[in-house]
Amino acid sequence: MGIRIALAGNPNCGKTTMFNDLTGANQYVGNWPGVTVEKKEGKYTRDKDVIITDLPGVYSLSPYSPEEIVTRDYLLEGGPDVVINLVDATNLERNLYLTTQVLDLGLPVVVALNMMDLVRKNGDKIDVAKLSKRLGCPVVETSALKGQGMDELIKTAVDAAKKKAAPTPDLRFVAEVEGPIKQISDLLGSRVPASTARWYAIKLLEGEQRTIDSLKLPAADLKTIDAAREAMENALDDDAESAITVARYDAIGDVVAETVKKSAKGLSLTQKIDRVVTNRVLGLPIFIVVMAFVYWLAISVGTGVVTDWANDGISGDGFLYTGGGAYEEAVGAWEEEVAAAEEAGASEDELAALAEEEPDPAEFGLWIPGLGAIIGDALESAQVADWMQSLVMDGIVAGVGAVIGFIPQMIILFLLLAFLEGCGYLARVAFIMDRIFRRFGLSGKSFIPMLVASGCGVPAVMATKTIENERDRRMTIMTTTMIPCGAKMPIIALVFGAIAGGNTEETWWIAPMFYFLGVIAIIISGIMLKKTKMFAGEASPFVMELPSYHLPTVKSILLSTWERIKSYVVKAGTIIFLSTIVIWLLMNFGDAGEGFGLLDQETELQYSLMAGLGNAIGWIFAPLGFGDWQATVTSITGLVAKENVVATVGILTSVGELGETDPDMWMAFATMFGGSAAAIMAFCAFNLLCAPCFAAIGTIRRQMESAKWTWFAIGYMTVFGWAVGLMFYQLGGLALGEVSFNVWTVVALAVLAGMLFQLFRPMPAVKKAGASEELEAGAGAAA
């Protein structure tokens, strides 16, 4: 049997970073609580007999949250040989609260004094030897981010595990608390191991029901414990749990006073920055500006050379590596010649001859053929059947290529988000949004999954496990996927191009607008749902430690970006691949009056199975401005995976190889809506806010643990998306002069009035849940 090491510590203390460094794993690292909800295991890279378990970040071992339950159960019952307790050395007093609880468990403990590089940078000093003596266990200086002290830490932990020596801390509480603890320890006797007697005595003194139930003590003993608790509460004039918390912090304060020497510097850089970015007035506007810049950079700037290169190289004809300037001049001269011939009324034969004279890029430099061209030539050379060539080129290459071509923009987006997350700014956003969300009955914990959702809706839904209140958790699940994820970015880019056309400078605001549409939709949904009886109630408490600002490592940024991009590529290679085949089959087969069979795409597309499906349900979307079958089926295929929206447009328009950032693709997409900007924006709003992809729906089903709630969530998101799309088209179209006043305009006004009524009506009175109900909700979330 190998040595099992448990990593325990507060959120943001560097556990997952250390776990990745020690095991070579690529776990996701986030600057907010609840990123690691389940424990994760890996083998030490230098000794495969050493197994390391990364436990969720917690502030204490009280069983009030899913993370605390997972961590506590593993330490008490999982049998680790030693615990490495990571402590943020820059905030020693707060972090040692958990340490004092871990020391009571009787397990061998090694304290990793992490972020010591920042302590030295701040000019502070920590007497490590004296700290080790007071805690009664080894203390090792580390920097998980820079990989410093890792070898010494593991060596110390392995030695401690082999010695099996329990800590001997020099930490004692005031006499009014120590007396009852000793009395209960003596009462327990041999019923609990001697090494954990203090732990159980403290929990019984606090009156923790989970411990009382697990020990099954006789009634006489419980009365003795109750009497000891009552005597302590009378002596200290405080409830038991608060009294022990105060006593624990008093003991920690003595240790910190002895071992830590703070520098005489003024405000730290982090404190100076936070005075601005977390300011009550400036915090939200700064967040809006930052996210608008991120999306503008990813969509507007990312649409340039890099994306064009990817589209040409992946699914297009190819790209010219050298001699591009000469080739562009030749193409310009040729286009002028063709335009002049057309103005002069040249015949079709003359125009055809001119078309054959189009400059060949291979004659101007190093020409690298695109993947689409290579596949097409290979199929022709192999004399593959026409229908198979159409399936591969018009279906798979056009569909998947339209999605893959978006990768450069996603890389820009995820690099920027990874930097903001790594430096500590996104943690501040959760803090800022807590102020806003709490006004609407939600807490900052509900915003954390929404931040995760900017990458993918699946981990975002899973992140709702950290919300103890069952009502808030379900409401967050129902709304969190409204934030545009990576898969929805191609839709935004396509809509941006279709509306902007070539004038991207004046319409830069379109892409950021749809990101904030998701944020606004969540806030509005939160208010409306919270004012129903099924969701009414107090918001969950939100406790979060803000990490110090620091420059993230290049490795961490690239790792975070790679994990998100890899998920996108895998989906494109599996779900999107299969979806494009199904879409092609539905589009190419049908009955044109001569029996069911393969159709002519130029003249018989309207008889396809896909057209039949679109026509059958098109009436649902007609009030939103896109009731024709092409736009309708585009939305339907998006339920499988949101990337399918662009893939379907690529197949329908037969220009998928161009990618969603090509002007021809924009024009083809705009043509599907008759050039109506209101209809295009309604289409985008519906597809961003309606039910998410199948993968996210499956995750919602697992987290809801109820088919009824799952269908309710899907139904709410879809109806809400439809209602927003209706208002975009009917009211926006009316303002733009694209829509005349009609019955559906009245319905849109009624929907708007209904939403405003629900937003501003008083909060319903509800019975306040007791402590036992909240604990039960927390346990349910952990399950």
Q: 549 with 515: CB under 8 angstroms?
A: no
Average pLDDT, integer, range 180-189:
88
Does the pLDDT at position 657 exceed 50?
Answer: no
Tell me, yes or no, whether 460 and 606 share the same domain.
Answer: yes
Q: In the structure encoding, which two tokens stand for residue 59, read together?
A: 């502030």
Tell whether 74 is covered by a domain: yes
Write the pLDDT tens digit of every residue in 477-497.
888 888 887 677 777 777 766
Nearest one of 703, 750, 704 to 727, comparing CA atoms: 750
- In this predicted structure, what is the pLDDT of residue 653? 67
Tell me, yes or no, whether 37 and 136 share the same domain.
Answer: yes
Last residue of a domain, one of 242, 261, 280: 261
The residue segments making up the domain with residue 125 are 3-163
Does the pLDDT at position 767 exceed 80?
Answer: no
pLDDT band at 775 (very low <50, low <70, confident <90, very high): very low
Tell me, yes or no, whether 139 and 243 share the same domain.
Answer: no
* Whole-angstrom distance, CA of residue 361 vs CA of residue 323: 9
Last residue of a domain, one of 212, 234, 261: 261
At 56 the three-state DSSP class reads coil
**What's the CATH code of the domain at 54?**
3.40.50.300
Tell whether 359 is covered by a domain: no
Give the contacts of 65 (CB within 8 A, at least 6 positions apart): 58, 466, 468, 778, 781, 782
Last residue of a domain, one of 241, 261, 281: 261
Backbone angles phi, psi at 245, to 5 degrees: -60, -45
pLDDT band at 328 (very low <50, low <70, confident <90, very high): confident
Q: What's this model's pTM, rounded to 2 decimal places?
A: 0.62
- In this predicted structure, what is the pLDDT of residue 305? 53
Tell me, yes or no, whether 74 and 108 share the same domain.
Answer: yes
Tell me, yes or no, whether 151 and 180 share the same domain.
Answer: no
Tell me, yes or no, whether 705 and 751 share the same domain.
Answer: yes
Does the pLDDT at position 776 exceed 60?
Answer: no
Write the pLDDT tens digit of every residue in 561-589.
887 777 767 765 676 677 777 777 877 78
Looking at the chain, how many residues does it have? 783
Does the pLDDT at position 547 exceed 60?
Answer: yes
At 393 the three-state DSSP class reads helix
- In this predicted structure, what is the pLDDT of residue 505? 55
Sign of the four-CA dihedral 507, 509, 513, 515 = positive
Q: How many domains does the chain have?
A: 3
Tell whether 310 is covered by a domain: no
Out of 59-63, 64-68, 601-605, 723-727, the most confident range is 723-727
Tell me, yes or no, whether 571 and 507 share the same domain.
Answer: yes
Does the pLDDT at position 774 exceed 50?
Answer: no
Tell me, yes or no, whether 559 and 681 share the same domain.
Answer: yes
Tell me, yes or no, whether 109 and 234 share the same domain.
Answer: no
Backbone angles phi, psi at 156, to 5 degrees: -65, -40
Q: In the structure encoding, which two tokens stand for residue 359, read together?
A: 């400059």
Write the pLDDT tens digit of every residue in 747-761.
999 999 999 988 887
Cα 52 to Cα 143, 158, 344, 425, 626: the distances in Å are 18, 11, 78, 29, 55
* Whole-angstrom distance, CA of residue 476 vs CA of residue 713: 10
Tell whether 567 is covered by a domain: yes
Task: Report, in angstroms and rounded to the nearest whole number, the Rg of the chain calculated over CA atoms.
Answer: 31
At 606 the three-state DSSP class reads helix
- In this predicted structure, what is the pLDDT of residue 265? 67
**What's the CATH code of the domain at 225?**
1.10.287.1770
Does the pLDDT at position 222 exceed 80?
Answer: yes
Tell whether 451 is covered by a domain: yes
Tell whether 312 is covered by a domain: no
Tell me, yes or no, whether 512 and 648 share the same domain.
Answer: yes
Write the pLDDT tens digit of every residue in 29-65.
554 444 555 678 888 888 888 888 888 888 888 876 7
Tell me, yes or no, whether 97 and 48 share the same domain.
Answer: yes
Query: Given phi > 0 = left and psi -120 to 50 = alpha, else beta, which region is 345?
Result: left
Q: In the structure encoding, which two tokens stand for residue 555, read together?
A: 């490795």
Tell me, yes or no, whether 464 and 490 share the same domain.
Answer: yes
Mean pLDDT of the chain: 78
Tell whether 286 is covered by a domain: no
Which one is predicted more confidently, 81 or 473? 81
Tell whether 749 is covered by a domain: yes
Average pLDDT, integer, range 387-396:
74
- In this predicted structure, what is the pLDDT of residue 152? 92
Mean pLDDT lowest among 157-166, 226-235, 670-679:
670-679
